[in-house]
Amino acid sequence: MNAYRESSLNNQLLASLPPEAAHVVQPLIESVELSADTMLYEAGTVLRHVYFPVTAVVSLVSPLQDGACAEVAVVGVPDERLGEVSIALILPAAGSLLSEQELRDFLIQRLASFKVPERFIFVSESLPRLGTGKIDRVALKAQLSA
């Protein structure tokens, strides 16, 4: 099976291309394996490749203004009034003085208002993970709904 066919079967973006677009893209698709520590893009650099992950755990690290980084998961939980609201669970970097209001102000400047989580919960332990390394959102939702 060629790389395009294999990738398009497992990637929704490629699979959704109309046949005429797929015909143009197909010769340009190359299957590659990347190591776990491969950086796909660094801010300010020229983007030379586009990746269509078939199996992956992709992590986005964005330093905060104070240089610290945080581990964050956003999950939806039931809400009587709205049906469901988003809650951000944040494990701040050691020594970070990040406050909920600073984070909310930061997000309001960069996101549409409906994308800003309704609540922020700061946690002191690492977020639960699946065997693949991804954050276990089902476990988080169950903990928050209990």
What does the domain layout of the chain look like in residue ranges? 1-56, 71-145
d(CA 3, CA 13): 15
As a whole number, mean pLDDT of residues 127-143 equals 82
pLDDT over threshold 80, residue 128: yes
C-alpha radius of gyration, the chain, whole number: 19
Residue located via tokens 């476990």: 139
Q: What integer is the mean pLDDT of 54-58?
A: 56
On whether the CB atoms of residues 8 and 22 are closer than 8 A, the answer is yes
- Whole-structure pTM value: 0.54
Q: Which CATH architecture has domain 71-145?
A: 2-Layer Sandwich (3.30)
Q: Please provide the distance, in angstroms rounded to a whole number, between the alpha carbons at the two ends of the chain.
A: 47
pLDDT band at 1 (very low <50, low <70, confident <90, very high): very low
Read off the pLDDT band of 137 (50, 70, 90): confident
What is residue 129's predicted lDDT score, i.e. its pLDDT? 84
Pick from 26, 72, 32, 73: nearest CA to 55 = 32
